[in-house]
């Protein structure tokens, strides 16, 4: 390969799945990404990527190249994290918003010293698998197999909650249709036997609508059990336990910034589980 810089575009498109996100990741434009991928395809003599409903997927022709490029990228990032000039290392962490807001940001007040030398950048990540353009990801359920390091970091109990004054016991508030098969959403379907009357896109919005309209909805105990205006809809019903997993590329295994971030996230989950149990009791 004459131009090794093309590998940056290869890895970016493989991680993000779209020309637009790959361009944002590289600080360029979609036309440049498209041109570089086309040039790489010409060099290989066959398409480097295949368009699918889920986005651009690497073809067999570039799978080996991607592994080499990702390994090289991980080694470079690890080496930069270990430098001794005192400059903070940026780590992009992808995570569902309620975990960032209710676990990680409060945790920075108590355990900020664990992130010395690390500059965290949070990105919203909902119902996606894999790293994408993140250095490290926290997601619900175990990720698919691949060249990644996975670590179970905790579990949070979730159930149906209702406001103290229940005005509508026939309907409920839920999330968007794309989450209808998610176990937390299924609580509402199983109990009410119908889709939610109102759909929202975040847990904060869901809790707010529940209280303002006097209607039930699904929430983690981390939110519902500590809110004095809410109570379990069925106190004796079994809760759904959502497992949370942390993942990063195997080439970052010895990266001190990644290790520090992973330890910080684990500590935040341990604190949250203690808090949720205390509130439930």
124, β-bridge pairs:
95
- Phi and psi at residue 266, to the nearest 5°: -60, -40
Q: What is the pLDDT along the chain (281 residues), one digit of tens a residue?
A: 556 677 788 888 888 888 888 888 888 888 888 888 888 888 888 888 888 887 888 888 887 777 777 776 666 666 656 555 567 888 999 998 888 988 999 999 889 899 988 999 998 876 666 777 788 999 887 777 666 788 888 888 889 999 999 999 999 999 999 888 887 888 899 999 999 999 998 888 899 999 999 999 999 888 888 889 999 999 888 888 888 899 988 888 888 889 999 999 999 998 887 776 666 56
Nearest by Cα to 46 from 62, 65, 34, 35:
62
Tell me, yes or no, whether 22 lies in a domain.
yes
Tell me, yes or no, whether 1 lies in a domain.
no
- Which helix H or strand E contains 163, and what residues bound it? strand 148-163
Q: What is the DSSP secondary-structure string of 54-87? A: TEEEE-GGGHHHHHHHHHHHHHHHHHHHT-SS-P
The pTM is what? 0.69
- Phi and psi at residue 138, to the nearest 5°: -115, 125
- Which helix H or strand E contains 137, and what residues bound it? strand 136-140
Full residue range of the structural domain in which residue 23 is found:
6-79
Q: Which CATH number goes with the domain that contains 184?
A: 3.40.190.290
CA 76 to chain centroid, in Å, comes to 24
Q: Kindly state the tokens that stand for 249.
A: 């590329």
Distances (CA, A) of 271 to 100, 112, 262, 268, 277: 14, 14, 14, 5, 10
Shared domain for 177 and 67, answered yes or no, is no
Where a domain ends, among 44, 79, 114?
79
- What is the count of structural domains for the chain? 2
């Amino acid at each position: 390969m004459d131009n090794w810089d093309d590998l940056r575009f290869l890895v970016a498109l493989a991680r993000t799945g779209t020309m637009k996100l790959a361009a944002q990741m590289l600080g360029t434009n979609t036309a440049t990404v498209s041109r570089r991928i086309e040039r790489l395809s010409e060099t290989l003599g066959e398409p480097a990527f295949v368009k699918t409903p889920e986005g651009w997927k690497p073809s067999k022709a570039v799978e080996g190249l991607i592994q080499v490029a990702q390994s090289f990228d991980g080694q470079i990032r690890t080496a930069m994290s270990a430098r001794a000039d005192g400059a903070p290392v940026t780590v992009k962490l992808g995570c569902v918003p309620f975990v960032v807001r209710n676990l990680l940001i409060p945790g920075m007040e108590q355990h900020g010293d664990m992130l010395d030398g690390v500059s965290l950048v949070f990105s919203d990540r909902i119902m996606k698998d894999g790293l994408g353009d993140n250095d490290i990801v926290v997601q619900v359920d175990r990720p698919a197999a691949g060249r990644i390091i996975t670590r179970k970091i905790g579990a949070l109990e979730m159930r149906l909650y209702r406001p103290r004054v229940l005005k509508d016991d026939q309907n409920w508030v839920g999330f968007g249709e794309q989450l209808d098969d998610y176990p937390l959403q299924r609580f509402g379907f199983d109990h009410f036997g119908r889709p939610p009357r109102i759909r929202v896109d975040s847990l904060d919005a869901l809790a707010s609508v529940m209280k303002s309209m006097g209607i039930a909805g699904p929430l983690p105990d981390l939110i519902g059990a500590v809110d004095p205006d809410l109570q379990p809809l069925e106190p004796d019903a079994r809760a759904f336990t959502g497992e949370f997993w942390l993942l990063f590329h195997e080439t970052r295994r010895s990266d001190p910034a990644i290790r520090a971030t992973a330890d910080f996230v684990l500590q935040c989950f341990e604190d949250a589980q203690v808090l949720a149990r205390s509130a439930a009791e």
